[in-house]
């Protein structure tokens, strides 16, 4: 976890003298997490202002779904969920409330193989500047806008037999 140093980078905001310096970034990759059920109470204990968290790394865990608790972290600007086991593209819908989210990684999840994956995510989260560490171009935004008029929902996820 990092806190303020005044550089303006995620996790580096400086607060006034005598004020606790809130943690703005939290790294939890490779921790074996399969759910985020314990995240809210842990954030309350660890962070001065959990809703001010700007950067969260949950990459390379065993998450099979995007927990709705992430939508309560309204300050998130960067969210790393790559290398997990999320298979249903509609799970991304749970992130729609994150209006400040600018950087998102989802690659390495089975959902990435679904047809229209990138377009769907960008149509749902048009404020993203990068998806899967790749910049979103103006041409891509135009294509997504056209695509979004005809494709509003991904196909339902079907479990393998």
Stronger pLDDT, 48 or 75, i.e. the higher one: 75
Whether residue 72 has pLDDT greater than 80: yes
What are the φ/ψ torsions at residue 50 (nearest 5 degrees)? -55, -35
> Could you please report the per-residue DSSP string of 97-139?
T-TT--EEE-TTSGGGGSTTHHHHHHHH-TT-SEETTEEPPHH
CB-based contact 101:127 (threshold 8 Å): yes
Sign of the torsion formed by the C-alpha atoms of 15, 71, 127 and 78: positive
3-state secondary structure of 80: strand
- Alpha-carbon span 107 to 56, nearest angstrom: 16
Strand-pair partners of 105: 80
pLDDT at 12: 39
pTM: 0.80
pLDDT band at 152 (very low <50, low <70, confident <90, very high): low
Q: What's the N-to-C CA distance of the chain in angstroms? A: 42
Strands (E), the chain: 25-27, 55-57, 78-80, 103-105, 130-131, 134-135
Stronger pLDDT, 14 or 126, i.e. the higher one: 126
**pLDDT tens per residue across span 34-71:** 999 889 998 888 888 888 899 999 999 999 999 999 99
């Amino acid at each position: 976890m990092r806190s303020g140093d005044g550089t303006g980078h995620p996790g580096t905001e400086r607060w006034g003298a005598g004020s606790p310096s809130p943690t703005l970034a939290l790294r939890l990759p490779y921790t074996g997490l399969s759910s985020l059920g314990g995240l809210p109470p842990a954030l309350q204990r660890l962070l001065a202002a959990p809703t001010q968290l700007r950067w969260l790394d949950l990459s390379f865990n065993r998450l099979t779904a995007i927990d709705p608790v992430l939508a309560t972290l309204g300050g998130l600007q960067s969210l790393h969920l790559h290398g997990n086991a999320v298979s249903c593209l509609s799970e991304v819908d749970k992130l729609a409330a994150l209006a400040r989210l600018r950087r998102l990684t989802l690659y390495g999840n089975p959902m990435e193989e679904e047809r229209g994956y990138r377009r769907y995510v960008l149509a749902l989260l048009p404020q993203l500047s990068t998806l899967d560490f790749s910049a979103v171009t103006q041409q891509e935004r135009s294509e997504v806008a056209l695509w979004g008029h005809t494709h509003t929902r991904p196909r339902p996820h079907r479990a393998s037999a």
